[in-house]
Structure 1
Amino acid sequence: MPDMEPLSGAEPEDSTSRLTLHRPRREDVPELFAILSDPLVWTHLPSGRHREIERTAQAVERWDAEWERDGISTWVVRERGVAQAIGYGGLSSLDGVAWNLGYRFAVRAQGRGFATELARHAVARAHAEGPALPVIAYLLEHNVASAAVARRVGLELVDRGPDAGNPDPEAVRLVFASRALSPEELTAARR
């Protein structure tokens, strides 16, 4: 059962009709770790699960550095008026040649359209922040829900191949993009 205490403190950096989006802070690490350490959140990529809170703290530090460098990165996501985080997501720069769209939600928040709402907002922000860069989303082929979200926000399948760095040698990565990709952009998406 989510904590229904109203969110206090910092105002959101951004919002959608149902979500508030906050730049991650050190104080968010325990809530994010609770999401990132849940094996049910990592059904499609078990090796991505966070087993130590330090890994989550490092992710928050990386996102903060991206905010400083790029003016946009990953948000902590909350339902409007609710204190407890339900996930995270947003954009990251892939070598300055593309925006990578990514997100992850707590199991209790899945299936409610939050990923599509966040992704639609992030794509719009990407076009505002760096309109020359394509937006890409890469995901594992068996992650049908994420592929559906990518399509709903206007991304099209542009590549299918091995998932670099995945401990499962049979894993297949799909790359969705807002437009056709140059060889340099596709190389960044395949890493």
Structure 2
Amino acid sequence: MTARDLSAEETARLDLRRPTLEDVPALFEILSDPRVWTHLPSGRHTDPEWTARSVENWIAAWRTDGIGTWVVRERGAEPIIGYGGVSDLGGIAWNLGYRFAATAQGHGFATELSRHALDRAREVAPERAVIAYLLEHNTASAAVARKLGLHLVDRGPDAGNPDPEAIRLVFADRDLDDAELRAARR
């Protein structure tokens, strides 16, 4: 069986495509908006170069893994409304992640994108666990994880978070062994 090209895909309401450096200005507009970072204010991009580095990493991941982070638009529309997909955690697991513009939140796009990414990750490397880690107070992302059938496998301090009280939750599509759990905690 030949691997299919996952770089441009569609869901019922979304167009997903591999990012390019031309996407940086639109992504920076999303990633610099404080409303997008209510759960992790320190993650807000303050310089377009930060966004460019992120996009460069996503492009490299696509070349290496054959899957990665998509830029997201509503079907048939031009404006970018977010990004998301999976990233490799040391060849051990996939990390599921997304971020949407404040105006695109609350419409079920995160669940739709995440369900698609989960299916594709299982297609590319079904032996790898799929995890989603998030901050405990981010109840919307926890609800998305649960809708996908992921279950809570770990709770603990959020390493590297400037808020020493921050708690990270790890959801996964299966029970994790020690190596997978270490990858999820990094």
Q: Give TM-score, length-normalised by structure 2.
A: 0.96
Matched residue count: 180
Cα distance, 1:22 vs structure 2: 0.8
Equivalent residue number for residue 164 of structure 1: 159
Equivalent residue number for residue 23 of structure 1: 18
Could you tell me which amino acid in structure 1 is paired with residue 107 of structure 2? R
Equivalent residue number for residue 80 of structure 2: 85
2:129 to 131, 134, 151: 134
RMSD: 0.6
1:105 to 88, 100, 122: 100
Could you tell me which amino acid in structure 1 is paired with residue 66 of structure 2? G
What secondary structure, in the 3-state scheme, does the structure 1 residue paired with 2:174 have?
coil
**Equivalents in 1 of 2:28, 2:148: separation in Å?**
28
**Equivalents in 2 of 1:156, 1:123: separation in Å?**
14
Cα distance, 1:82 vs structure 2: 0.6
**Equivalents in 2 of 1:154, 1:95: separation in Å?**
23
What secondary structure, in the 3-state scheme, does the structure 1 residue paired with 2:123 have?
helix
Equivalent residue number for residue 9 of structure 2: 14
Cα distance, 1:48 vs structure 2: 0.3
What secondary structure, in the 3-state scheme, does the structure 1 residue paired with 2:77 have?
coil
Equivalent residue number for residue 116 of structure 1: 111
Identity of aligned pairs, percent? 69
**Equivalents in 1 of 2:109, 2:31: separation in Å?**
17
**Equivalents in 2 of 1:154, 1:116: separation in Å?**
11
Alignment of 1:94 onto 2:126:
no
**Equivalents in 1 of 2:21, 2:92: separation in Å?**
29
Cα distance, 1:127 vs structure 2: 0.5
Q: Give TM-score, length-normalised by structure 1.
A: 0.94
Q: Alpha-carbon deviations, 1:100-131, whole Å to 9, x = none?
A: 00000001000000000000000000110000
**Equivalents in 2 of 1:132, 1:36: separation in Å?**
32
What secondary structure, in the 3-state scheme, does the structure 2 residue paired with 1:93 have?
strand
**Equivalents in 2 of 1:58, 1:82: separation in Å?**
26
Q: Which runs of 5+ in 2 are unaligned?
A: 1-6
Could you tell me which amino acid in structure 2 is paired with residue 143 of structure 1? N
Equivalent residue number for residue 147 of structure 2: 152
Could you tell me which amino acid in structure 2 is paired with residue 145 of structure 1? A
Could you tell me which amino acid in structure 1 is paired with residue 102 of structure 2? V
Equivalent residue number for residue 3 of structure 2: none
**Equivalents in 1 of 2:89, 2:10: separation in Å?**
24
Equivalent residue number for residue 179 of structure 2: 184
What secondary structure, in the 3-state scheme, does the structure 1 residue paired with 2:163 have?
coil
Q: Alpha-carbon deviations, 1:132-190, whole Å to 9, x = none?
A: 00100000000000000000011000000000000000000000000000100000000
Equivalent residue number for residue 63 of structure 1: 58
Could you tell me which amino acid in structure 2 is paired with residue 58 of structure 1? R
What secondary structure, in the 3-state scheme, does the structure 2 residue paired with 1:63 have?
helix
**Equivalents in 2 of 1:153, 1:129: separation in Å?**
18
